[in-house]
Amino acid sequence: MTPASNIRISPIRDGFRHAALAAALVLAISACGGGDKPADAGTAAPTDAAAPAAQPPAQAVSAQVAAMSVDQLREAARTAQNEQRMYAPAGNNAMEFYLALRDKQPNDAAVTSALTDLMPYALIATEQSIARDDFSEALRLYALMEKTDKSAPALPRLKQAITDAQASFAQRQQQQELDAEAEKERLAKLEEDRKKQQEEQQKVAAERIQQQQAEAARNAEANRQAEAARQAEAARQAEAARQAEARRQAEAARPTAAPATASANDLRLISQSAPKYPPEAFRDRISGEVQVEFTVGTDGTVTSARVVRGNPPRVFDREAVAAVKRWRYQPIASPVTTRQTIAFKP
């Protein structure tokens, strides 16, 4: 088996390779301005002075791959192609294996042809890495392409694209940091406003509570004064009633003139019924007495009776008067008015 047959890309994958080549060609032409003359390999488009420069890795081929033998590199390159590991992963892809093989056999045309076929794959992958901001992968692929062909027309554009993308990414990060700081300040301002509002609400609530407490104190004082006035009025009315009762009893205690025609000595009691004991007074074990003034008619019956004095007042008055009215005396010549004191003991 010749080296060329070992390196040749499988015919089964020619269709995919040609499609990739066509896509890469379209990208390269559009990036270079259509029919314009491509820039030299060492000339890059002017960049912003503030933008970071794209720096590819120092070595495109890993030291482990570079240390492999020629036969190992051929076998590894063929296996990588069959498994579609054209340019990745790093250290285990067909492009690195062929580059290391070319370093060992610079005049192997088959190796050069294989690397030429792999360039479109690397170009497309580089564009995709730039698009997703994977700059380390883009720089690694750029290094592979640069080592493959330093004069490739797409290299200046790719280098500038990586530089611009890195600058844009840095600007986005800076803007995100600024936005995050602004959001932090906004949240801090909201928290400060919330605390101020909370303090104001607490102040208003405290003032409202003080007002309510003051109002409650005023109402309590007004109720106390009203109760004191009520008690004073009740005491005044009680005193007035006591004085009125004292006057009534004093008036009742005044002696009345006996009738000229008869006297109390002429009265002879022939029937006397005991008064009933009021149930309430009996239950409460209350004792007392009532002085009753009554008039005895000529037939010996009691014609009128009234309470002169009761102790305690109005407790036994009714039963005392009712009992006296049932009394009977011997007939007399003329009506006689007299007084009797009736005692009540439970």
d(CA 139, CA 125): 11
Range(s) for CATH 3.30.2420.10 in the chain?
Answer: 264-344
Tokens of 53: 């420069």
Is the pLDDT assigned to residue 182 strictly greater than 50? yes
Q: How far is residue 16 CA from its own chain's centroid?
A: 61
Whether the model pTM is above 0.85:
no
Return the C-alpha torsion angle 310, 312, 313, 316, nearest 10: -70
Which residues are paired to 343 by β-bridges? Answer: 289
* Rounded mean pLDDT, 248-253: 78
State the angle between helix axes of 109-131 and 154-253 in degrees (0 to 180), rounded to the nearest 10. Answer: 20
Is the pLDDT assigned to residue 95 strictly greater than 70? yes
d(CA 95, CA 270): 157
**CATH top-level class of 264-344:** alpha beta
Q: What is the pLDDT of residues 97-128, one digit of tens each?
A: 999 999 999 999 999 999 999 999 999 999 99
